Chain A
């Protein structure tokens, strides 16, 4: 039994040909994968809540992989604000900047903070069981790395659901598996197969006739700038709503903070993220 998985490629804002090539290489490779549906949308952060891009993402019911030029944390909480929710899928890929000692210290600090007994908004807001994996396209230059990880994710979710929730209570057990993944011993075989597949798919971005179609969504809403709340850190303390002069923040019907009027936000102003005592406010473009 194989479940289908949706892979969403969120395009970057840059016209850098190397970045565009990575995106197109990924699409060309992914349409050859079985069990994978591919959707291409513009930059996730710029999508408007009622636009066709978010609509398409909301229509994805099952497990999903989101490839974007954003930190996974930012991508996840942008989706959350648009009611696209699920369990956090744990990728074995290292994120951008991970592996530096300073960053590890920072991560440790943040984890320590999160370990205290404060109530976080996310604790009282259960997510649906489907999984959402967010991968950062800035972390690796080659499409192969992402395709391998997506294959692993497909395998992980195609196997019977016995212990898939085992990670919920703690960190992923990624030591040995990560090592094996990062230093594969057989990188020639699969890569060679994909080279052929890519040529078959055509170099002009057109899918091969027999391949499942790629859904490509165009949306030209322009650049946006607004805060994104990480509810796994937010304690609903209301510092941000008290601070912001532009009426960006509001509360929902159970008095939980939310970004109510994102487009009231002043471009280039990240000040609310600095007053947040939990570092829960993200400006992905900052």
Chain B
């Protein structure tokens, strides 16, 4: 639970700690498909604009800046959640990023990266991580509300 809001985290996939994305092996390909977790979407709220600063097919390293997002609650750079070859972006989101809000665990996926995924967390590890940062998150949210 995030305050009064319930956040669901499917257990059929893994999670990246630093930018709150889920990762799931794409069928038939060696790539991990990434999208925002319910936690990230809850903090972002309505997504208005998404842009990528790299092209499909390039190698990225974990933590590298790869894009930008504008939402009701935030404007933020986006970073690669793992090292590997960024093979595909979800092009439909560029025209209509609201799919992220409608179906963040499905059609609202962001991109696919080929790589080993060693640093990705299990859902249990991710939830434990969220519990540990929840105090700070609440302070951040309240700080925004008081601005």
Q: Which residues does A use to contact B, with CB under 8 Å?
A: 13-17, 19, 220, 222-223, 266-268, 285
Contacts and interface: CB of A to CB of B under 8 A. Distances in A.
Interface residues of B, number: 15
Given A16-B70, A222-B94, A267 B53 contact: yes
Interface centre among B48, B70, B94, B98 (most CB of A within 10 A): B48
8 contacts: A14-B49, A15-B48, A15-B97, A17-B48, A266-B55, A267-B53, A268-B52, A268-B66
Given A14-B70, A15-B97, A15-B98, A223 B51 contact: yes
A210 B120 CA distance: 61
A268 B53 contact: yes
B55 A16 contact: no
Contacts of B48: 14-17, 19
Contacts of B96: 15
A267 B98 CA distance: 23
B22 to A, nearest CB: 23
* Interface residues of chain A: helix, strand, loop or mixed (majority): loop
A285 B94 CA distance: 15
Contacts of A13: 49, 51
B102 interface: no
Contacts of A285: 51
Given A222-B94, A223-B94, A15 B52 contact: no
Interface of B: 48-49, 51-55, 66, 70, 91, 94-98
Contacts of B97: 15
Contacts of A267: 52-55
A15 B49 contact: yes
A223 B54 CA distance: 12
7 closest Cβ pairs, A-B complex: A268-B53, A14-B49, A16-B48, A15-B48, A267-B55, A14-B48, A268-B54
B79 to A, nearest CB: 13
A40 B90 CA distance: 28
B49 A16 contact: yes
A16 B49 CA distance: 7
Contacts of A268: 52-55, 66
B139 to A, nearest CB: 26
B111 to A, nearest CB: 13
B44 to A, nearest CB: 13
Nearest to B94: A223
Nearest to A267: B55
Nearest to A270: B53
A220 B94 CA distance: 11
Contacts of A16: 48-49, 70
A118 to B, nearest CB: 33
Given A16-B70, A17-B48, 7 more contacts: A14-B48, A14-B49, A14-B70, A15-B48, A19-B48, A266-B55, A268-B52
A13 B55 CA distance: 18
